[in-house]
Amino acid sequence: MFAGRGDRVVIVGRRVELLRQASEDINRTAGADLAIPVGADLTDPAQVRRAADLIADLGEVGVLVNNAGAAVTPPAGDGLDALAASWRRDLDASLLTAVLLTHALLIMMSRPGGRLTMISSAAAQRGGAGPHSACSYAAVKAALHGWALGLARQLGRDGITVNVLAPGYIQDTGIFHGQDTPGFVATKIADTLVGRPGTPADVAAAISYIASPEAGYLTGQIIGLNGGAVLGR
C-alpha cells in the first residue's frame, strides 16, 4: 500500500527469503524498487541495532508499524519453569520486539509528523480463551496498550502520534499455521456483526489513515478493527 503511492518501505523480519520474495512482489506491483528487506530477529538487541543502522542510512523515518508477533507458544511441560519459559517467549515476540525497534528508531522519527502504530489484537480487549497458557497472547498484546499510551504522552509534544490497532480475525495471514479450519473460520465470522472475516486490505486501509497527515489529532487510542466482534470500550 505504501509503496503503491511512492513511499520507500523497509520490511523487517527473521525469514530473509520470505522478506526478499515479498519485496520483489511489492516492487513489481509498485513498478519501482521501493521495498527494502532487512533480516533481523527483533528480540535480539544486537540485531535490532544493526537493523536500525541500516534504516538510518536511508534517512528520516516517517511511519513505524510494529507488527511482529506470534501465535501462542504452548508450555513444553506442566511445571512452572515450562510455563515461565512459554510466557517469556510470547512476551519477547509480541512486546519486546516493538519496544526495542521503536526505541532504536525514535531518534530518526519525523518531528513533527511521525506516526507510530502498534498492532495488537481483539484478544487484548476481551481476554484469552482456552487453557491458561493461551491467555499469554491476550496478556502480552494488552501490554502493548499501556506502553503505547505512555509513549503517546511522551511524544505528543514532538508532533508524533502513537496509536494501537487491535484487529479481530484476519484471513490469509498464516498466523494460525493451518489450524484455521472451516469450522474455526465459521466461528470467527459468527462473532462479527458484518458477517465476514477481516482481510489484510482492511488492516492496510486502517493503517493508511492512522499514518496519514489527516490523522494528526488521533493519538493515544486503541482502535478496534474486528467487524463488531468486540464493541467499543
Active-site residue numbers?
A: 137
C-alpha cell at 200: 489484510
**DSSP string over the chain:** -TGGGT--EEEEES-HHHHHHHHHHHHHHHTSS-EEEEE--TTSHHHHHHHHHHHHTT--B-EEEE---------SSSSHHHHHHHHHHHHIIIIIHHHHHHHHHGGGB-TTT-EEEEE--THHHH---SSGGGHHHHHHHHHHHHHHHHHHHHHGGGT-EEEEEEE--BSSS-TTTT---HHHHHHHHHHSSSSS-B-HHHHHHHHHHHTSGGGTT--S-EEEESTTSS---
211: amino acid identity, one letter: A
**How far apart (Å, rounded) are the C-alpha atoms in residues 222 and 214?**
18
**How far apart (Å, rounded) are the C-alpha atoms in residues 129 and 123?**
9
